[in-house]
Every structure is written in structure tokens, then in C-alpha cells.
Amino acid sequence: MNSASSIFDVAGRVACVTGASSGLGRRAATALAQAGASVVGVARRAADLEDWQNETTGSTACVSADLSDRAGLPDIVDQITAPFGSPNILVHAAGINTREAADKVTLEGWDITLALNLSVPFFLSQALVPAMKEKGWGRIVNFASLQTTRAFPGGIAYGATKGGVGQMTRAMAEAWSSSGINTNAIGPGFFPTELTAAVFGDDERAARNAAQTCIGRNGRLEDIDGPLLFLCSPASDYVTGQILMVDGGFTAK
Ligand SMILES: NC(=O)c1ccc[n+]([C@@H]2O[C@H](COP(=O)([O-])OP(=O)(O)OC[C@H]3O[C@@H](n4cnc5c(N)ncnc54)[C@H](OP(=O)(O)O)[C@@H]3O)[C@@H](O)[C@H]2O)c1
């Protein structure tokens, strides 16, 4: 039987984390690097990626790119693969929330939300899965949301993509798990990041969200570490197609 520490081991794995310049993606990239994986962080802001690299011990590399640029995807894939070879752990944390009310949703807002939150995780995975198949092992972690199953004001485009992420996670699991590639999603509650600046800028709203959890507080970035390492390691060998809500019990009440 594996020891408790070795089943969570990601040492020697190659991970790609999108959204590594900020928030949960940055935290995920750090957690994987500290646990011994070689990590390629992807986002647009080169300076923030460089900051992340400077503050992170371990084997790291960065790709500064706009993931919503469909035509650029093959080049981005080459850049991701260059430093350490093709990743066998893929964490899709890049995402946006335009917060447009249903009556005011613009085509631009709708299209960029669908592109980044839904199309990118699919097509980047599709591009990197063949190498995972060759190795017979892979892990894909998508980012779902409370809005995977709940409707919030101003969340129609975002919620549509996060509902989609839930179903895409199951469909990816159906397609690739028999090749050793498990796909799951983390469904965060409320975590203080750039994405949720509007939520945490309103103390009353933040307190209401905290009160809605069973635990009685909003998320801290480090709350993501354990669930992430579980889903990226052999500890989750028989777990696929699932959404692990990391929400302090928000959806339990
Ligand atoms: N925070 C929460 O409470 C919460 C709750 C539920 C779900 N989530 C999900 O968790 C994930 C991470 O969110 P977060 O809160 O950490 O958000 P965040 O702090 O705003 O980070 C978003 C990341 O996405 C990257 N990104 C945005 N547009 C991009 C583009 N066109 N190309 C490449 N990268 C791009 C950003 O980097 P650049 O700007 O440098 O490109 C940034 O690194 C998202 O999928 C979000 O939906 C978050």
C-alpha cells in the first residue's frame, strides 16, 4: 500500500496552470511547484508571471499569452511544452466574469466569456491530451463555480460557462479516463481575488456570503491547496468526472 504522503506526490510531474498571474491560478501554480512539480504558468501579464516565478521556490517557467486568441493556440501549446516537455497535469484557472446584467449583455462580453471560460479549457486540453495518452497518465482540473448550479445577478454569461464547465468535466472524463487521464473540477465558494473585487469591496455582501457557508467564513487562497493536490496526484486515481466544491459548505445549506 502507498504511504499517505506518496499518494499525494506530484514530484517529477510537469504541470501547466492557466491564470497563474493572479488569484486561485497563481496559488495553484505555487502549490504544485512547492510540492515538486515543474510548473508552467500561463497568463497575459508578463510582469505578474515574473513576480510569481520570483516568489516561488521550485522548477517554474512562464508563457505570456492571450489564451482567447484561437489562432494563437498552436503556438501557445509549443511554448507550454518547450521548458519541461508536454504537461501531464493541466489546471485551467484562467477565467473572467464580465458581470453584465441579462438585459445588458453585449455580444463582446458573451463571446469573450465563452471563449475563455469554456472553449480554452476544452481546446487546450484536446491539444495536450495526446501526449498524456502516450504516458498513460494525466490529470485535468477545471474551475467550476457556485454558478455551476446557482444563478446570481449579473451572472448569465459567466453562469452559462460554469454550468458548461460542469458538464464538460463529465464529458472529458467519459472521453479520456480510460486512457489514464482523469478530469475533475474544483468549485470554489467566495475567495478574495481580482475576479471577486466587487464582492469583497462590499463588506455587507462579503459577510452575507460568509454567513451562508457552514464553516462561517469566506475562502482563503490556501484552502485550495489540499483539494488541488488531491485531484492532481495518484490519491484521486479512482475519482473522475466530479466537481469538488471547495466552498466551506455554501452549497450544503
Ligand atoms: N475567486 C472566486 O471566488 C472564484 C469563485 C468561483 C470560481 N472561480 C474561478 O476560479 C478561476 C480563477 O479565478 P480567480 O478568482 O483566481 O480570478 P483572477 O484573480 O481574476 O485571475 C484570473 C486569471 O485569468 C487570467 N486571464 C484572464 N483573461 C485571460 C486571457 N485572455 N488569456 C490568458 N489569461 C487570462 C488572468 O491573467 P492575465 O490578466 O494576466 O491574463 C488571471 O491570471 C476562474 O475560472 C474563476 O471563474 C473563482
**What CATH number was assigned to the domain covering residues 4-247?**
3.40.50.720
Give the HSE-up count for residue 142: Cα atoms under 13 Å, Cβ half-sphere: 34
Ligand 1 atom closest to Cα of residue 165: 45
Bridge partners, 14 (sequence order): 38
Confidence of residue 129 (pLDDT cuts 50, 70, 90): very high
Which positions ≥6 away from 222 have C-beta within 8 Å?
27
SS3 content of the chain, % helix, strand, coil (to 5): 50, 15, 35
Does the pLDDT value for residue 3 go beyond 70?
Answer: no
The finding on whether 194 has its CB within 6 A of some atom of ligand 1 is yes
Q: Please compute the mean of the pLDDT values over residues 142-150 and round it to a whole number.
A: 98
Question: How far, in Å, CA of 107 to CA of 167, rounded?
Answer: 23
> What is the structure's pLDDT at 1?
53
Is the predicted pLDDT of residue 28 greater than 80, yes or no?
A: yes
Whether 238 is catalytic: no
Question: What is the spatial distance between Cα 113 and Cα 50, in angstroms, rounded to a whole number?
Answer: 26
pLDDT tens digits for range 196-229: 999 999 999 999 999 999 999 999 999 999 999 9
User: Span 158-180, mean pLDDT?
Assistant: 98
Q: 10 Å Cβ neighbour count for 99? A: 16
* Ligand 1 atom closest to 68 (CA): 31
The pLDDT of residue 107 is above 90: yes
Residue ranges of domains in the chain: 4-247
pLDDT for residue 81: 98
Distance 180 CA to ligand 1 centre (A): 28
Measured in angstroms, how far is the CA atom of residue 228 from the centroid of ligand 1?
16
Angle in degrees, CA 139, 193, 154, rounded to 5: 95
Q: Which of 52, 84, 143, 158 is catalytic?
A: 158
pLDDT of residue 2: 58
Q: For residue 103, name the pLDDT band (cuts at 50, 70, 90).
A: very high
pTM above 0.85, yes or no: yes
Query: Residue 166 in contact with residue 149, Cβ under 8 Å?
Result: yes
Q: Which pLDDT belongs to residue 85? A: 98
Residue 136's pLDDT band (boundaries 50, 70, 90)? very high
Task: Check residue 235 and give its pLDDT.
Answer: 97
pLDDT in tens, 226-238: 999 999 999 999 9
